[in-house]
Amino acid sequence: MSFLLGLTGSIGMGKSTTTTMFAAEGCDVWDADAAVHRMYAKGGAAVAPIAAALPNAIVDGAVSRDRLKAMIAQDPAVLKQIEAIVHPLVANDRATFIQNATADIVVLDIPLLFETGGNVAMDAVACVTVSPEIQKSRVLARGTMSADQFHAILDKQMPNDEKCARSDFIIVTDTLDHARAQVKDIVVQIRERLAHA
């Protein structure tokens, strides 16, 4: 049975980069956002149920994230509808991934891990963090959202300090080398724990 390490952290903290580092250390990595992207794509598991509930959200046989955003902006209740469809599909996808994993450590990249109570299913949790200034400059540098949109996302998430306080490991992503050293250290600690289990 693999060791389940939940990886969390707010937007712009460096989760994607960190998951790549865990993969380089021989861990199997599952990404919640990537799973949703697969399900929204043509032929994906979420297309038919979302088409049945919200037909206007479908464009060319796939779920349009832009249309969903617009619909949620008009009626916040739509978000609950989408979550009721998507969350069970994501949970199944994750369970299948864990079942088929071959690595000793499985890293589960779940942005809203604490918010959804997913942390209780993990053997440990690592939180990716960086200063608020670096976080904001990273997100705005992508050019995909405004400062207002960025703050709106943050308002929906548990404060970073609280996430860090509730985590077993903290990964500061101020530089790639620093982040990589911390990832290697976490993997070593977990493998030592597994060796003595």
**Mean pLDDT across the stretch 10-34?**
95
Nearest to 180 by CA among 188, 171, 192, 189: 171
Q: Please identify, among 42, 76, 102, the residue that sits at the C-terminal boundary of a domain.
A: 102
Are residues 139 and 51 both part of a single domain?
A: no
Domain, as residue range, for 186:
1-27+105-197
Are residues 71 and 98 both part of a single domain?
A: yes
As a whole-number percent, the residues of the chain with pLDDT over 70 amount to: 100
Are residues 52 and 63 both part of a single domain?
A: yes
The pLDDT of residue 1: 80
pLDDT at 145 over 90: no
Are residues 151 and 190 both part of a single domain?
A: yes
pLDDT at 129 over 90: yes
**Mean pLDDT across the stretch 158-174?**
96
HEC letters along 118-158? HHHHCCEEEEEECCHHHHHHHHHHCCCCCHHHHHHHHHHCC
Are residues 111 and 22 both part of a single domain?
A: yes
Query: For the whole model, what pTM was predicted?
Result: 0.89
**Mean pLDDT across the stretch 34-43?**
95
- Residue 22 carries which side chain, given as an amino acid letter? F
As a whole-number percent, the residues of the chain with pLDDT over 90 amount to: 85
The predicted-structure confidence for 77-117, as pLDDT tens digits, reads as follows 999 999 999 999 999 999 999 999 999 999 999 988 998 89
The pLDDT of residue 67: 94
Domain with 109 in it: what CATH number?
Answer: 3.40.50.300
β-bridge mates for residue 4, sequence order: 106
Q: Please identify, among 87, 102, 117, the residue that sits at the C-terminal boundary of a domain.
A: 102
CB-based burial label for 95 (10 Å; 0-12, 13-18, 19+): exposed
The pLDDT of residue 76: 86
pLDDT band at 154 (very low <50, low <70, confident <90, very high): confident
The pLDDT of residue 153: 85
The pLDDT of residue 52: 96
pLDDT at 144 over 90: no
Q: Please identify, among 65, 82, 102, the residue that sits at the C-terminal boundary of a domain.
A: 102
DSSP 34: H
Question: Total structural domains in the chain?
Answer: 2
